[in-house]
Structures are given as C-alpha cells and as structure tokens.
Amino acid sequence: MKKILTIFTSVAFLLTASVFAHDHDGHGKNAMAGDHFKKMDTNSDNKVSKEEWQKFHDGFFTEIDKDADGSVTLEEMKSARMEKREEKKSEMNDKAKEAKKKKDDKKKKTTE
C-alpha cells in the first residue's frame, strides 16, 4: 500500500507539474493554474481541501492505470501523455477550422 501511495503521489506531482509548466490555451500559466484549481475546488469555496485534492488526483491515477492493476507503469504514463497530446492537437485543429470558417463567412458577407 505504501508503494502504491508513493507511486500515486509521484504521478500526481508529475502531472500537476506538467499542467502548470505549459501554456495550453494561450492564456498564460496563471490561467491554466486557475482552471486546474477550479476543477479541484468541487464545492466552490475558493479553497482546495486535502479530500478535494486527493479525489481529483485519484481520478488521474485511475485514468492512467489502464489495466486496473493498482499500479502505473512508465508505458501507461507515456501512453496517457500521448493521448492527452493528441486530444489537445485535435481540439486545436477543430478551433482553427472553426475560426477559418467564421473568417470565410465574414468575407462572404462583406463582398455581397
């Protein structure tokens, strides 16, 4: 149990550190931290309790532990990271297509 808790804590730390280290939506690191905080603060009291923190990060562990054996391998962590990267890439492509469509629609309206 102690080994699992140590692994979980390490994984949670690494995931949290990677979330805070990247500027995902172009809003800066502080906005990303705020989004992460809001997700953890389930009762919206502008505080994250130990229970809220643990519940949020338990979800990460469960998500990464694909074979549900109670431990996370390096391969599972890499796979989860690649899945997240692909999801973000897909979201960015969708946003770019939507922005282009809006721009094209606006051009059509001005030329009519």
Mean pLDDT of successive 10-residue stretches along the chain, which has 112 residues = 75 65 50 80 93 90 91 92 92 91 81 66
Q: How many Å apart are CA 110 and CA 79, to the nearest integer? A: 47
The domain limits of the chain are: 2-80
pTM of the model: 0.48
The reported pLDDT for the residue numbered 93 is 93
